[in-house]
Amino acid sequence: MMKRWQAFKRLLPLMASIALLLSACGREDLSALRPQGPVAQGSYDLMKLAISIMICVLLVVFGIATYVWIKFRRKKGQTEPPEQVEGNFKLEVIWTVIPLILVFILAVPTIQKVFAMGEDYTKDKNAVHVKVTSHQFWWEFEYPDYGVKTAQDLIIPTNKRISFQLKTADVLHSFWVPSLSGKIDTNPDGTINKWSFTAPKEGVYLGKCAELCGQSHALMEFKVKAVSPESFDRWVAAMKEPAKLPEDPQIAETFKNQCLTCHAVGDQGGPAAPNLTGIGGRETVASILINDESHPVKENLKKWISDPQKVKPGNLMPKVDLTAEQIDGIADYLANYKLNY
C-alpha cells in the first residue's frame, strides 16, 4: 500500500501539469476534460491517473528508442557482426513486473469507481427519477413521480441525485452528457439500464447520442438544463397546467388536426412524437437548430416544419401539408409557448 502511494506521489506533479494542459481543451458544457459534476469528475480523475502512467511508459519507450536509433546506427567499416545476445533474464523480469505493478495501480481505483458508478438509486426516495426513452432521433424524458413528460431539454434540479432508467423505443442509442457523466446505452425493453448523476452547478450542458442509430445519429443531441430546486418545482407546476392552444381558432384547428395526432401539449395530444409543452423556451428546435439572436426560435420552427427531412434526414416527422400562413401561425404560437420557472 505504501509503495503504491509513493508511486502515486511521484505521479502527482505530472498529473497536475496534465490537468492544466487538458483543461484548456474544449467547451465547459461539453468536454469530458472539464467535468462539471462528481460522476464526470470520477472518470476524469481516472483518465488523469491513466494518462500520467502512460506518459511515463511513453517517455521510457521513446527515450530508449531514440537512444538506440542514434547510438547503434551501422557505421562505415563495421563488417564484423555485433555480439548476438540471446536475452537477459533480469531485464526481462523487470519489464514483466513493472507493467504488472502499473496495471495494479490503475486497476484498484478502476474497480472502486466501477462499483461506485454502478450504484442503483432507482429506489432512492431523495432522488429525482427520470425515465429516458430514446427514439430515432429524439429524446423523451418522463418524470414518473411528477407525472410530467418532456422532450429534448432535460430539466433537473441542482445538487440532487438524478436517477435514470433508460430504454429505447427503436434501435440502440447511448445517453451521453460529457461534462456531467460518461455514457450509458439505451437498450430495448427487457434490458433497461440504470444510471445516475448530479449537477452541482446551474447551467445548460450538451448531451449527445453516442451509438450509431441511423441517418441522423449526428443530429440526435439534447440539452441538460440544471436549475435551482425552487425553479425546478415551478417548472413541474407549469408543465402540469392545462394545455394552452393557439388563440386563432383556425390555427388551433389546424394544430389539433395536423400536429396533436402525434405531438402533445399539456394534457392534449398523443405520445408518438416529442412533447411540445413550452417548446418556445427550449434551447433548440429539433435538437439541432440552436435558438439564438441570429436564429430566433420562430425562424427555426418555420425552417423545421417546412421541411423536417432537410434538417434531420430519416426522422419520422412528415412534411405536413400546410400553407405558408398556417406554418407561420403555428410557429408563432409555439415560439411563444414558454413556461415560467
Partner 1 sequence: MAHAHSVKHHKGLMDWLTTVDHKKIAILYLVAGGLFFGIGGIEAMLIRIQLWKPLNNFVSAQTFNELITMHGTTMIFLGVMPIIFALMNAVLPLQLGARDVAFPFLNALGFWTFFFGGLLLNLSWIMGGAPDAGWTAYTPLASKAFSPTHGVDFYTIGIQIAGLGTLIGGINFLATVITMRAPGMSFMRMPMFTWASFITSAIILFAFPAITVGLVLLSFDRLLGANFFEVAAGGNPILWQHIFWIFGHPEVYILILPAFGIISDVIPTFARKRLFGYSSMVFATILIAFLGFMVWAHHMFTIGMGPVANALFSISTMLIAVPTGIKIFNWLFTMWGGQIRFTTANLFASAFVPTFVMGGVTGVMLASAPADYQFHDTYFVVAHFHYVIVGGLVLGLFSGLFYWWPKMFGRLLNETLGKWTFWTFVIGFQLTFFIQHFLGLMGMQRRIFTYLPNQDFDTMNLVSTIGALLMAVGVIIFFVNIVITMSKPKGVANDPWEDGRTLEWTIPSPPPEYNFKQIPLVRGLDAYWKEKQAGNTEMTPSEPVGSIHMPSASILPFVMSVGLFIAGLGFMFSRDEFSNSFLAGIFNNYVVVIIGLLITFICMLLRSVFDDHGWHIEPEELEEEGVKA
Which residues in the 82-111 window bind partner 1 by CB under 8 A? Answer: 82-88, 91-92, 95-96, 98-100, 102-103, 106-107, 110-111
C-alpha cell at 271: 405520445
Cβ neighbours of 295 (radius 10 Å): 14
Question: Among 4, 27, 201, 319, which residue sits at the site for partner 1 (rule: CB under 8 A)?
Answer: 27
Quote the strand ranges of 137-192, DSSP E: 138-143, 148-151, 153-157, 162-168, 173-177, 181-186
Which residue of 7, 14, 18, 30 would you call a contact of partner 1, by CB under 8 A?
A: 30
- Part in contact with partner 1 (CB under 8 A); list of ranges 207-215, 225-233, 239-247, 330-338: 207-215
Residue 269 in the binding site for partner 1 (CB under 8 A):
no
Give me the 283-302 binding string for partner 1, x by CB under 8 A, dash otherwise. Answer: -----x-x------------
Q: Does 158 bind partner 1 (CB under 8 A)?
A: no
Residue 250 has φ and ψ, to the nearest 5°, of -65, -45
The footprint of partner 1 on residues 179-198 (CB under 8 A) is 179, 181-185, 187-191, 193-194
The reply to whether 81 sits near partner 1 by the rule CB under 8 A is yes
Binding residue for partner 1, selected from 15, 18, 19, 51, defined by CB under 8 A: 51
In the bound state with partner 1, the residue whose beta carbon lies nearer, of 117 and 262, is: 117
Contacts of partner 1 in 224-253 (CB under 8 A): none
Tell which positions 112-151 bind partner 1, by CB under 8 A.
113-118, 136
Q: Is 126 helix (H, G, I), strand (E, B) or coil?
A: coil
Of 325, 287, 283, 322, the residue nearest 305 (C-alpha): 322
Q: How far is the CB of 62 from partner 1 (least distance, A)?
A: 6
Three-class SS state of 226:
strand
∠171-151-192 over CA atoms, to 5°?
40
Of 259 and 285, CB closest to partner 1: 285
* Residue 224 and residue 200 in contact, taking contact as beta carbons nearer than 8 Å: no
Q: Pairing mode, if any, of strands 153-157 and 221-227? A: parallel
- Chain position carrying cell 433497461: 192
